[in-house]
Amino acid sequence: MKTSKHKVVIIEQSELLIKGLEQILSDSSIFTIDSVGSELSNYINSNIDIVIINPNIISQNKRTKIRELYPSAKIIAMLYNYVDRDSIKQFDDVIEINNNSFKIIQVLESSIKKDIKKDNQADMEELSDREKEILVAVAKGLMNKEIANLHNISVHTVMSHRKNISRKTRIRTVSGLLVYALLNNLIEENEVLK
């Protein structure tokens, strides 16, 4: 299976630094350079995963504009001289001029993985206690009317909970919900095999 490469934009004035980063990222099998330069107006592609910025060449307002243009992109600061701590807090991560190739790739990969991990964890955290109860009942094979009677709620409410559970977990089948419940320790295997 071929994995898609993550698109990177580099916003920097120094051709030496741009070429160096391009070389490092070209050696990686998961990143590709989409665009480089120092003008914000050059970046119109909305499928950007990472924006690497020299914080000294772009004002706070333009950095905010980048976040608006690419809300899902990770914004990485590239540091090679002093930048105050408050400015660094605006970035998702930092790479430094003295980082080796391995460290730079590691920081970029870590930024992407944090986002994926956060997305995966958000789904389970969003399930309410009642939704978890309904999920367990569905995983055990109970019908909507049985679930409604068990929890003293209407069938319509059960259906609403099931719809929300499917949306949050992105699982549409009862067997898929069973696997989800087992993997997330909501039910024990022996509860299902009765």
Share of the chain above pLDDT 70, in %: 82
The domain spans of the chain are 6-121, 127-192
Instruction: For Cα atoms 98, 75, 110, give the angle at the middle one, nearest 5 degrees.
Output: 65
Q: Which CATH code, of 3.100.10.10, 2.60.40.10, 3.40.50.300, 1.10.10.10, is assigned to 127-192?
A: 1.10.10.10
6-121 against 127-192: fold identical: no
Q: Is the pTM of this model over 0.85?
A: no
User: Please, what is the average pLDDT of the chain?
Assistant: 80
Q: In CATH, which superfamily holds the domain spanning 6-121? A: Response regulator (3.40.50.2300)
Strands (E), 38-171: 50-53, 74-79, 93-96
Please report the sign of the dihedral spanned by the C-alpha atoms of residue 108, residue 109, residue 114, residue 120. positive
Q: pLDDT category, 42, cuts 50, 70, 90?
A: low
Is the pLDDT at 146 greater than 90? The verdict is yes
Q: What is the C-alpha separation between 35 and 18, in angstroms, rounded?
A: 10
Pairing of β 31-37 and β 50-53: unpaired
Tokens at 136, concatenated: 């367990």
Measured N-to-C along each axis, helices 129-139 and 174-183 cross at an angle, to the nearest 10 degrees, of 120
Q: What is the C-alpha separation between 120 and 81, in angstroms, rounded?
A: 36
